[in-house]
């Protein structure tokens, strides 16, 4: 039981490049979400999903795309990276209706 | 919309002392959850304690306890007999009781325990 797995752990991108942050969970959780962590701002919700095929925007969705084709996976796509997207990204999952959230180890992304 | 405010960006205490981290929040919801998360240098998000708003009794977990004041919308964390391993960033967070399980986080408090 690996829990929530994020890859990669670190990434450096050039402005304008695209990439996908991977998130996988093996707990059969319906709910999955992506947060970004910036100094002095805590964690802010980017996108979330309540099940396969269902996604919605969070507080800071601009510049990010998501899809949920399976229960297990919830990738986050940056289509054209910008320096403002330099941050630490966390994926989290939980059962619907239960408050316990399980977090991945985070991805530190730097856009130069 | 809900907001969570942590007004102490940094705190520092000596080992074995007691320390209290402050958190206030704003919501129009009557039922909700409040959390304290710990983030050590490893970056892992670790749940410290959870409080259900409908429960009047303050939650406790070993050396960690909360002071939940619903009317004042205050949710402070007390760490007793602090240990070096308590050094971390601490986040207060809010979640509505029903609906999408979106967590709203405060800005964080960096706590340092000195030997």
B33–A92 CB contact, under 8 Å: no
Pairing between β-strand A10-13 and β-strand A107-111 as defined by DSSP bridges: parallel
Pairing between β-strand B88-96 and β-strand A31-38 as defined by DSSP bridges: unpaired
Residue-level pLDDT at A1 = 64
Q: How far is B114 from chain A (nearest CA, A)?
A: 23
Q: Cα–Cα distance between A34 and A66 in angstroms, integer?
A: 9
Mutation to test the B interface, candidates A37, A99, A100, most B Cβ within 10 Å? A99
pLDDT tens, residue by residue, A57-97: 999 999 999 999 999 999 999 999 999 999 999 999 999 88
What average pLDDT does the structure give for chain A?
96
Q: Report residue A42 as tokens.
A: 């805590």
A44–B101 CB contact, under 8 Å: no
Residue B14, exposed/middle/buried by CB under 10 A (0-12, 13-18, 19+)?
A: exposed
Q: Report residue B2 as tokens.
A: 């809900």
Residue-level pLDDT at A47 = 98
What is the maximum span of chain B, computed from C-alpha positions, in angstroms?
A: 44
B103–A31 CB contact, under 8 Å: no
Residue of B nearest to A93 (CA): B101
**Tokens 């707990």, residue located:** A27
């Amino acid at each position: 039981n690996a829990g929530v797995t994020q890859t990669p752990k670190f990434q450096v991108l050039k402005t304008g490049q695209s990439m996908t942050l991977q998130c996988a969970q093996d707990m059969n959780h319906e709910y999955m979400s992506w947060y970004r962590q910036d100094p002095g701002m805590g964690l802010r919700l980017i996108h979330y999903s309540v099940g396969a095929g269902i996604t919605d925007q969070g507080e800071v969705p601009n510049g990010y795309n998501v899809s949920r084709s399976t229960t297990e996976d919830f990738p986050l796509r940056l289509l054209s990276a910008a320096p403002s997207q330099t941050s630490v990204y966390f994926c989290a999952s939980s059962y619907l209706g239960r408050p316990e959230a399980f977090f991945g180890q985070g991805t530190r992304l730097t856009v130069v | 919309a809900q907001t969570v405010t942590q007004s102490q960006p940094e705190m520092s205490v000596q080992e074995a002392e007691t320390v209290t981290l402050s958190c206030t929040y704003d919501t129009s919801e009557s039922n909700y959850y409040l959390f304290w998360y710990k983030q050590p240098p490893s970056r892992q998000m670790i749940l410290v304690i959870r409080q259900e708003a409908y429960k009047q009794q303050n939650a406790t977990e070993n050396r960690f306890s909360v002071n939940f004041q619903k009317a004042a919308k205050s949710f402070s964390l007390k760490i007793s007999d602090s240990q070096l391993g308590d050094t971390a960033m601490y986040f207060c967070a809010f979640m509505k009781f029903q609906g999408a399980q979106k967590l709203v986080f405060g800005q964080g408090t960096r706590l340092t325990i000195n030997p």
